[in-house]
Structure 1
Amino acid sequence: MKPILLFAAALLVAQNTLAGPLRNDHPIVGTWRFELPDGSCHEMYRIRADGSALITSAAEIAESEFEIDDQPDGDGFYQSNDKIVKDNGKKDCTGEITLVGHVIQSFIVFHPSNNMFLMCQRRDMASCIGPFIRVRGTEI
């Protein structure tokens, strides 16, 4: 889950279980690919409507539970909290090992096609990473 962890110092929050069901047509449901800017590594996010996700990043395999707003706010951002619940203890694309139990807060903004999104530290486009690109065949 490392692109998010680029913001780790500012975003890690201790919380209890987060997962909750999403509507099946929520734009976050599906499989997403994020490639590091230098092209050296990519990550895959398999986000399910039950509020769970499977993330792969280099040798790392992690599972998380998440919450995300059902609808965007007036500026188009969905607030999200993502808690790592399992990790295989191997290094991710940034060479780090994800710590189980940490929660990362972010703000997601979708492209009008719903086939790309940016993940932001704050509700502003200047604090975003991405794009996360929907893998073909996982459209809502």
Structure 2
Amino acid sequence: MGNKVAVYRKEHFNAAHRLHNPAWDEATNDRVFGKCNNPHYHGHNYELVVKLIGEPDPATGYVYDLKLLSDLIQENIHARFDHKNLNEDTVEFKDLNPTAENIAVVIYRILREKIDPKFDLKIRLYETERNFVEYPVN
């Protein structure tokens, strides 16, 4: 099984969103999503933790160069979502409700395409200090 090690990189981005299901009436949206259904949107200071699991490289001792991981997150997540209205400014959430759960899945899919599959990848996204999600859960 080797010497698998987990490494983590924490980044952040700020974004606005509205939780809303267009198939529902306003009363249902208000009941289900409450303040998060504000038609003028609301924002969060998201904290993103990217976890990679792999074996340290014998030449470097690194599982993954965390500077390179930071650059990857900056180029593919931060540049795409920071200071954006997720509902209106991004293609990813044009037809997908930007819940923390859905944002985490989208981030995972974006990064999974860029990171060698020999590394296990997990996303943890904090929407607030007390509310966070992880994907995948295995």
Task: Quickly name the TM-score band, shorter chain normalised.
Answer: under 0.3
Question: Which protein shows a greater Rg?
Answer: 2
Q: TM-score, normalised by structure 1?
A: 0.27
Decide which structure has greater strand share.
1
Tell me: higher relative CO, structure 1 or 2? Use CA pairs within 8 A at least 6 residues apart.
2
The two structures have a TM-score, normalised by structure 2, of 0.28
